[in-house]
Structure 1
Amino acid sequence: MISFKQLRYFVEIVAAGSYTRASERLYIAQSALSRQIKELESDMDVVLLRRDAKQVELTLAGQEFYDKARKILEDLEHAISQARYIDKGERGAIRLLHSSSVPLSPPLGPCLNTVLEGFPGVTLEISQASSEHQALEVEEGRADLGLARIPILRKHPHLETVTLFQEKLVVAVSLQHPLAQHSVIDIAALRDELFVSTPHRDRGGLSYLVAERCIAHGFFPKPARATSRKASLLSLVNANFGIAIVPDSMRAIAVAGVHFIDLKEEDFQSAVVLMHRRGASVMVDQFVQAFIAAIARPSTSPQLATST
């Protein structure tokens, strides 16, 4: 039977690079450490490490196992941390993911702050991830909430999404670009432009939506020679590698050298959704309801607040 102790020892040996350094870090005898790893390999019937007098090297099977073992230990550490929060009478931590195209500028950032004031025992662990990756992480319980842009291509039976609001899409160009003299343009004016963000065939989100809308207007976005699906796309725009169609809220995180242009076409809109897992903890469920209510208040100016 594989134990968490064996996983911890194995991960520490790989991180330290040798049995000697790992035994010093773990404060156990090198012989005991070696015995645990031999038992682990015997139970698995797999060679995980190649050893010599000075260092260790992962086998191909060992590398695959190392990545999974490290993730298991991280999840265990998170679970222990949550249990300690509860034992102290506190609520715990909520793991929140958001897309790079969903910046925590108004209304999202201020609403999160407002909601946190009503949950004094809750902390947010915030990271960025693509829309599709968020959906999977929330579905499988590695994250609690996701803030993403639809469409999300894969279906997840335990995932619930709530549309928070819609916002218009705008064109981002460098101040050096000929289009920078415009404040409003037709989408047709972008037919021959190079886009620094193009869709991935297996991912939804903003770039997929933009491509769909462009196709509806008779063309597919031409990829620039340098592309990005992350927040760095505005840096590529600033460097004049090409243009991008982005949510209006990204003005708040843009560098000074980027100019934004409104589109005449009204169908260039993007919805922001909140994702959470059905059957989540009471803490997460209460936080979700409070956040939806905060977004729906007129002062935050979202246009939608309906479940899908």
Structure 2
Amino acid sequence: MISLKQFKYFIEIVDAGGYSRAAEKLYIAQSALSRQIKELEDELQTPLLTRDARQFELTPAGQLFYERGKRILEEIDDTLVQARQVGKGAQGMLRLQHSSSVILTPRISNALADALHQHPGVTLDVSMLPSENQTLEIEEGRVDIGLLRLPTLRRHPHIQVREIGSERLMVAVARSSPLAARDNVELAELSEAPFISIPHKDRGGLSYLVANLCLAQGFFPKPARALSRKSSQLNLIEAGLGIAIVPECMRLTAPAGVHFVPLAHGTLLTKIGLATRREADPLVTAFADALVGLLSSPVP
């Protein structure tokens, strides 16, 4: 069985440029170092180094083992550091992204504050990114935690997404619109309305949900003359250019001239998910678990 010590010895030989210098840095005999590498090659059943009296060269297998082995050792070192930090109260910067439709409501902001209180050494770097892009950012290590709209269509084997709440879907209309006087609206009634935000059935998140809800009613939203998928859509709605189907939380950021009407008596819902890597750093896992616990209860 390959040992962690053999990983370290092999990486040190390559980094030091030879056996003798590596042996000096490791404070072991060169013969013992050579024996460890020979045992490593025997276990792998392939040579990693070609040697002569003065120098060595990496074989293709050795080059692969060096590059990936070095990353493994770095990840182990990071894990040890993170574990110590978690044990001491958790120290570190976490990167959190949320979509424009998952705004930082008082409920979410309070949960973040409570989670930070539970982890006094943590600081957050918060930014915004569409739901469909967040899982890739997390998969590739540029983001730690994502708050997004479900469903997620892109499948990444190392990502887990946990549901943390739901809220009503509503129709955002201008206050001058006849719809503003309604107590509720059935989705089928919107088949001829101009949509400021055109849902995309292949994009995931809120866009995918709205597209499929409309298709189930026998229509696909008609585009307005001005389109936006961002928060600016509310300003276009206020100007009377069209409507949009949005989560109820958007009421918190809407201009005064926008009115929100429940869809189908408030029975149509959208779900929020929290995304992380399945094998995230202990600090990320601990903070994300705290957020899930704080946010997973149903919205009143």
State the TM-score, normalizing by the size of structure 2.
Answer: 0.68
**Equivalence for 2:254:** 254
In 2, the alpha carbon distance for the partners of 1:201 and 1:247 equals: 17
**Equivalence for 1:188:** 188
Residue 302 of structure 1: CA displacement?
3.3
RMSD in angstroms over aligned alpha carbons?
Answer: 2.3
Per-residue Cα deviation, 1:33-53 (whole angstroms, up to 9, x for no partner):
xxxxxxxxxxxxxxxxxxxxx
**Equivalence for 1:28:** none
Equivalent positions of 1:73-84 (< 5 A) are none
Q: Is the 1:99–1:149 Cα contact (8 Å) retained in structure 2?
A: yes
In 2, the alpha carbon distance for the partners of 1:209 and 1:271 equals: 10
Q: Does 1:114 align with 2:148?
A: no
Residue 198 of structure 1: CA displacement?
1.0
- 3-state SS of paired residue (2:106): coil
Query: Rg: which structure is higher?
Result: 2
In 2, the alpha carbon distance for the partners of 1:218 and 1:127 equals: 37
Aligned residues: 218
Q: Is the 2:200–2:211 Cα contact (8 Å) retained in structure 1?
A: no
Q: Is the 1:183–1:260 Cα contact (8 Å) retained in structure 2?
A: no
Residue 296 of structure 1: CA displacement?
3.4
Q: Is the 1:183–1:261 Cα contact (8 Å) retained in structure 2?
A: yes
Equivalent positions of 1:120-159 (< 5 A) are 120-159=120-159
Residue 200 of structure 1: CA displacement?
3.5
In 2, the alpha carbon distance for the partners of 1:111 and 1:89 equals: 18
Q: Is the 1:164–1:302 Cα contact (8 Å) retained in structure 2?
A: no
Residue 248 of structure 1: CA displacement?
0.9
Q: Structure 1: which 4+ aligned runs deviate by more than 6 Å?
A: none
- 3-state SS of paired residue (1:184): coil
Equivalent positions of 1:20-39 (< 5 A) are none
**Equivalence for 1:215:** 215
**Equivalence for 2:12:** none
Q: Is the 1:196–1:243 Cα contact (8 Å) retained in structure 2?
A: yes
Q: Is the 1:198–1:208 Cα contact (8 Å) retained in structure 2?
A: no
- 3-state SS of paired residue (1:107): helix
Residue 237 of structure 1: CA displacement?
1.1
Per-residue Cα deviation, 1:38-71 (whole angstroms, up to 9, x for no partner):
xxxxxxxxxxxxxxxxxxxxxxxxxxxxxxxxxx
- Structure 1, unaligned runs of 5 or more: 1-78, 304-308
**Equivalence for 2:272:** 272
Q: Is the 2:174–2:237 Cα contact (8 Å) retained in structure 1?
A: yes
Residue 179 of structure 1: CA displacement?
1.3
Residue 230 of structure 1: CA displacement?
1.4
In 2, the alpha carbon distance for the partners of 1:263 and 1:90 equals: 43
In 1, the alpha carbon distance for the partners of 2:225 and 2:214 equals: 19
- Structure 2, unaligned runs of 5 or more: 1-77
Q: Is the 2:199–2:221 Cα contact (8 Å) retained in structure 1?
A: no
Q: Is the 2:164–2:273 Cα contact (8 Å) retained in structure 1?
A: yes
In 1, the alpha carbon distance for the partners of 2:184 and 2:238 equals: 19
